[in-house]
Structure 1
Amino acid sequence: MRILSLALVLLTATVAWAADGEDRPNFLVILCDDLGYGDLGCYGNSTIQTPNLNALAKQGMRLTACYASAPVCSSSRAGLMTGRTPSRIGVYDWIPADNVMHLQASEKTIASLLQADGYATCHVGKWHLNGKFNSDQQPQPGDQGFSHWFSTQNNASPTHENPNNFVRNGKAVGQQEGYSCQVVADEAIHWLKSGRDADKPFFAFVCFHEPHEPIASPDELVAHYGDAKKEGEALYYANVENMDRAVGRLMKAVDDLKLAENTFVFFTSDNGPETLNRYRNAWRSHGSPGPLRGMKLHIYEGGIRVPGIVRFPGRITPASESDEPICGLDLLPTICELAEVSAPKDRTLDGASFAQSLDGGKVDRPAPLFWHYYNAISPAKVAIRDGDWKLVAHIDLGTKKAGGYFRPEVSQAIKQGKLTTLELYNLADNLAEKHDLAAEKPEVVSALKKKLQTKYDAVLDEAPDWAAPSK
C-alpha cells in the first residue's frame, strides 16, 4: 500500500511538472537590420508608415533606452545570442563571407539552452555569425540550437527583391519570389502553423534583412512617399513600411493561433541606422537616429540605442513605456528566467535579466553596460553607461591599421589597444551627447574610468586570437 501511495505521489508530481512545462512561455524575437531609433512612427517619425509596429507598442511596452550589444551587425547578434560582450567571444566586427571569425561552438546560445530544455527552435533570415556559411568548417544555425533554419550568411542577395541566397536546413533553395521580409515572414508563419512540434513551447528568432542595403521595395509602397525629395529616400521609407507589414502578418499568425497570451515578443534592431553616402552604394540609406548623436559604427547613442518593443500579455501593461536601460546582452538571462531554464554558470555573462522591468521594476545590474568596437567611424570606441552617466574612451591601436574588414592579424592590435581621451555625458540632461562634462566632473570621470578599465581588461583578456587560415 505504501508503495502504491508513493507511486501516486510521484505520478501526481510528474503530471504537475508536465502541466507547468506546457505553460512555459513561447519566445518570438524579431530583429531588424540597421533600423534607426527615429525610423518608426511610435518613436516619433511622422513620415514612414508603420501601423503594425505602432500597434505592437500599444499592445505592450515601448523601451526608450533599448541598446544593441554593439554598433555593428555580427557583433550585435553574437552578444544577443550569448549574453556575452561580443569582443569577449571574438566577434569583433561584421563577418565577411569566408572569414575566419565566427561564433564558436563552445558558446551557449539562447537557442541551445532552450532546445536542451524541450523547446522547439527556429531561425529565419539573416544569420551573419560565421564566414563559412553552410559549411562544416564552422558552426551553422543547426549547430547552435536551431532545429529548423532558413537563413542567409549576410544580406539578401542580389537585393531584397527575389533573393537567391537562402539555405534551408543545409540545402540551398534557389531564388525566392517576393521581397525578403515577406519571404522571411512566410517561412516563420509556416513553421509556426505546421512546421514545429505543437506540444512544445517555441523560440523563433526572426531576422529581417531590412532596411540594410542593397534596398529594394515594392513600387506600390514607394508611391506612398511621392513628396520625398532626395534620391532613394522614398525607396528607404517604403522598405521600412514593407518590413512593418511583415511584422503585422507575423503577429496576426501568432494571434490567430491563439498563442498571444503566452508568447513573449521582443522587437528591436541590431544597431543604429546606416547613413547616406558612407560608402558608394549607400544612396538608398536614409535611416534616422532621431535625437541621437552618431549612427551605425559609432559608440555614441545613435549607433547603439535602438527601437525596442516588448509584448507579453498579463505581465506588461498595454501602451506602457520604460526608460530602464536594457541591452541585447540582457535577452539571454531574461529568457532563461522567464522559461525557468538555468543560465550558464561556467562563463561570464555580461547581460542581466530585465524580467522585473516588465512590470515596472528595476534591472539588477551588477556592472555598468559596456560597449567595445575597435573599428568605429568616430574615434570613440569604448563606453560604459552607469546610471545616467556615460563615459566614452578613445583607443590607441598603435601603428597597426584596423580599417576595412576584420583580418586575423588585427587581433593582437585590438587586444593591446590603450584607452586615451575620455568624454563624459549625462544622458538624462544631454541625450544628444553635445556637452562633454569630463573637464567639469573629474571625480565622476575618475570613478567611471576605473570601472571602464577593469571591464575593458577583463573582456580583452578572455578575447580569442584568430589564426590566419592555412593555405
Structure 2
Amino acid sequence: MKLKSVSLFILAISLFSNQVQAAEKQQDPKPNILIILCDDLGYGDLECYGHPHIKTPHLNQLASQGMRLTDCYASAPVCSPSRAGLLTGRTPNRLGVYDWIPEGHPMHLKREETTIAQLLQQAGYDTAHVGKWHCNGLFNSSKQPQPGDHGFRHWFSTQNNAIPTHENPVNFVRNGEPVGEIEGFSCQIVVDEGIQWLTEKRDKQKPFFLHVCFHEPHERVASPPQLVEQYLNRSIYEDQAQYFANVANMDAAVGRLMKTLDEQQLSENTFVFFTSDNGPETLNRYGKGSRRSWGSPGVLRGMKLQIYEGGIRVPGILRWPGHITPGQKNTTPVCSVDLLPTLCALAAVSLPDERPLDGANLLPLFSGKPIQRTTPLFWNYYRANSTPRVAMREGDWKVVAHWSGPEGILPLGNNVNSISQQFIKNAKLTKFEIYNLKQDISEQHNLAWQEPDRLKELKQKLVEKYAAVQKEGPVWDTSDYEQEREKRLFPQKTKQ
C-alpha cells in the first residue's frame, strides 16, 4: 500500500514538473533592452520634432515604428545628474549628484545605489555600456565605482566628453584598459563597439541590456566633412552646419544600430528607448574653440541648465514591436526616472525597496491606460541659469520655485564645493510660479495670481518634496579637490 502511494506521489510530481516546463516554454522570452542617450540634444533638434533643416531619417523611421513622446523629460537639466537619475529611478539630488562631475571630483554615483543594469544582470541579462559615462570624477580608478561596479559586464566608456573633439578621440577605456586614439567620429565609434558586442561578445543565451551613450551633439563638436558640406547651404555659418551635421551623423549611427538588430533578428523582441540627457547648450557658453552649439529647444522656454521646459523636456521615442502600436504620438508626461520601474516590470524583476523611487511604471501607457504615479515629477538644480531652481509637474500643471540661496552661479564657485553644499542642504524655497503646460507650452503666462488655490496646493506639494530630497542628499568632502583646484588656478599664490 505504501509503495503504491509513493508511486502515485512521484507520478504527480512528474506531471506537475512537466506542466511547469510547458508553461515556461509558452511564456514569451524576456525582452532585450536598448537605451540610447544623446548629450545636449534639444527638443527641437530632430526632423520628427519639427527642425526645419536637420534630416534624421532613421529616427523618423524609429518614431513611425513606435511611439513619439511629446512630453518626455530628462531627470535633470545637466549631464551627470541626468544620467544618475536615469540609471537609478531616483531624482539626482537624493543621490548627491548635484551637478556635472569634473575630473578628479569626489562626487559620484555611490556603490550602494541600485541601478537598472544591476537589477537586470541579477535577473539573467547580459549588460553593456558604450559611450559617455560621467557618473564619477575618478574615472577608471578603484577609489570610486566604475560602470562594471554598477552592473555593466562590458564597458567602453569615457569619463566625460570625447577628447579632444568627436573626431579621433583618445580617451576611451574598455573594461579598465585605455584604448588610445581611435580614428573616426565618436558616435560611429560607440556604435561600432555596440555592434561588435551584440554580434560577437555578448552571451547569446541571455537577453541583453545595451546602454548607448553618445557624446553628440555636446561641444566640442566635430562632424564628417561630407555631411557638413550638405548643410552649408542651409546654415548661416559653417559652425552651424557643423552642428546640423553632428545631429545627422548621430542619426546615421542610430540607423546602423537598428540595422544590426534587424540582421541579428533581434528587433521583434527588443525594447528601444531614445532620448537626451538635457536640453540644448547655449551658444558660445564655453568660449573660444566651442562655437558650434546651435541646438534648438523648439517652442520651449529656456535651454540646458534651466528648469524651464527647454532645459528638461527632450525628445523621446519608444519602440517595442507587438506591444506598442506603430505611429503613435503620446502627450503623457514621462521622465527618464521612469525607466527603472518600467524595465523592472518588463523583465519581471522586483523593485529595490531600500530607498525611495521617483519614477513610475510606463507599461500601462502602451495599452492606452493611465500611469499610476505616487509622486509628481520633480527637478532641482542649484546652479540653474534660470532664476528658479526647483520645479514640479503634476498633470498639465507645473510649479517652479526660486530659493533663498545666491541668484547667480559665480558666488558658488566652479561646481559642488563646501560653500555650495551649505546652500544645497539648507536653502529654502521662496517665490513661486505656476504654468498650465497644456495651454501654454512656452511658459509665457505665470498664473500664480489668477489661480491662488491651485498655487497653494502645488506649493505645498513642492515644498514637501523638496524638503524630503534635500534631507536625503549626502554631503561630499571636497576639501582636497578644492585645494588641488586652487593650486592649478593660482600656482604663484600656492608657492608663496
TM score, norm. by length of structure 1: 0.97
Partners of 2:347 and 2:20 in 1: how far apart?
18
1:319 aligned partner: 327
Task: Specify the SS of the correspondent of 2:412.
Answer: coil
Residue 18 of structure 1 and its aligned partner are, at CA, apart by 5.5
2:56 aligned partner: 50
Alignment pair present for 1:418 and 2:425: no
Partners of 2:322 and 2:463 in 1: how far apart?
41
- Cα 1:321–1:11 shift into 2, 3 Å: same
Output the amino acid matched with 1:206: V
Alignment pair present for 1:75 and 2:85: no
1:297 aligned partner: 305
Partners of 1:467 and 1:361 in 2: how far apart?
46
Matches within 5 A, 1:273-284: 273-281=280-288, 282-284=290-292
Alignment pair present for 1:96 and 2:102: yes
Output the amino acid matched with 1:444: R
Alignment pair present for 1:121 and 2:127: yes
2:352 aligned partner: 344
Residue 226 of structure 1 and its aligned partner are, at CA, apart by 1.9
2:138 aligned partner: 132
TM-superposition CA deviations, 1:209-237 (whole Å, max 9, x none): 00000010000000111221134100000
TM-superposition CA deviations, 1:433-452 (whole Å, max 9, x none): 01111111111111100000
Output the amino acid matched with 2:21: V
Partners of 1:302 and 1:2 in 2: how far apart?
69
Output the amino acid matched with 1:423: E
Partners of 1:52 and 1:359 in 2: how far apart?
25
Partners of 1:398 and 1:391 in 2: how far apart?
20
Partners of 1:22 and 1:327 in 2: how far apart?
27
Conserved in 2, the CA contact under 8 Å of 1:100 and 1:469?
no
Alignment pair present for 1:432 and 2:442: yes
Residue 20 of structure 1 and its aligned partner are, at CA, apart by 6.7
1:256 aligned partner: 263
TM-superposition CA deviations, 1:396-454 (whole Å, max 9, x none): 22699324322244222201011111111110110000111111111111110000000
Partners of 1:74 and 1:9 in 2: how far apart?
53
Alignment pair present for 1:247 and 2:270: no
Partners of 1:106 and 1:219 in 2: how far apart?
45
Q: How many residues align?
A: 471
Partners of 1:18 and 1:196 in 2: how far apart?
24
Task: Specify the SS of the correspondent of 1:457.
Answer: helix
1:149 aligned partner: 155
TM score, norm. by length of structure 2: 0.92
Partners of 1:236 and 1:152 in 2: how far apart?
21
Counterpart pick for 2:72 among 66, 74, 83: 66
Conserved in 1, the CA contact under 8 Å of 2:77 and 2:305?
yes
2:411 aligned partner: 401
Residue 371 of structure 1 and its aligned partner are, at CA, apart by 0.5
Residue 184 of structure 1 and its aligned partner are, at CA, apart by 0.3
The percentage of aligned residue pairs carrying the same residue is: 58
Alignment pair present for 1:455 and 2:465: yes
TM-superposition CA deviations, 1:128-180 (whole Å, max 9, x none): 00000000000000000000000000001110001110000000011111000
Unaligned runs of 5+ in 1: none
Conserved in 2, the CA contact under 8 Å of 1:22 and 1:200?
no
2:383 aligned partner: 375
Partners of 2:147 and 2:16 in 1: how far apart?
38
Task: Specify the SS of the correspondent of 2:389.
Answer: strand
Counterpart pick for 1:361 among 369, 382, 395: 369
Output the amino acid matched with 1:207: C
Please tell me the root mean square deviation across aligned C-alpha atoms, in Å: 1.6
Conserved in 1, the CA contact under 8 Å of 2:435 and 2:445?
yes
Unaligned runs of 5+ in 2: 1-6, 484-496
Conserved in 2, the CA contact under 8 Å of 1:167 and 1:173?
yes
Matches within 5 A, 1:157-306: 157-227=163-233, 228-281=235-288, 282-306=290-314
